[in-house]
Amino acid sequence: MPHIMIVVSPYYEEIAAHLLTGAKAALEEKHCTYEVYEVPGALEIPLAIQYGAQREEGRGAGKMKFDGFVALGCVIRGQTSHYDIVCNESASGLTRVSLDYSLPIGNGILTCDSRQQALERAHPDKKNKGAAAALAVVNMLELDLKMRR
């Protein structure tokens, strides 16, 4: 049974809650266990996942504690270039950690022009991007198993 680390930034609480609800339901449906960790913002998510990748299960076991990772958060466009920096750097950070550690990471960090757009994408009864990020991890874990055969 895969064990997944979910890292969520609750900067926009309602949006984060919807993303988390969708991700948890998708993982439970796929019979995965998970742990949820909160970080202040989207820029902190890649480092939190890297921390999770570096932790081993049990003393001397040599096995990672987590099989996969889900990144959840939201960045909404404002009036400055901060939006572009946070969007680009959080995505770049996730990609770097994923490739450096060969980790499946589902990127559920929404990058939206408005709060309404973010709510539409986050809500479990609408676009359910939290579930999509969780299912991406499960799919990559399944692909890894196939490739090892």
Q: Which domain holds residue 27?
A: 3-148
Pick from 123, 112, 101, 102: nearest CA to 19: 123
Of 38-42, 46-50, 78-82, the least confident = 78-82
Domain CATH number, residue 123: 3.40.50.960
Amino acid identity of residue 60, one-letter, is: G
How much of the chain exceeds pLDDT 90, in percent?
89
pLDDT at residue 62 in the model: 60
Digit-coded pLDDT (tens) for 26-35: 999 999 999 9
State the CB neighbour count (10 A cutoff) for residue 87. Answer: 17
The yes-or-no answer on residue 82 being catalytic is: yes
Specify the pTM. Answer: 0.94
Which residue in 3, 18, 31, 82 is the catalytic one?
A: 82
HSE-up of 68 (CA within 13 Å, CB side)? 24
Q: What total number of domains does the chain contain?
A: 1
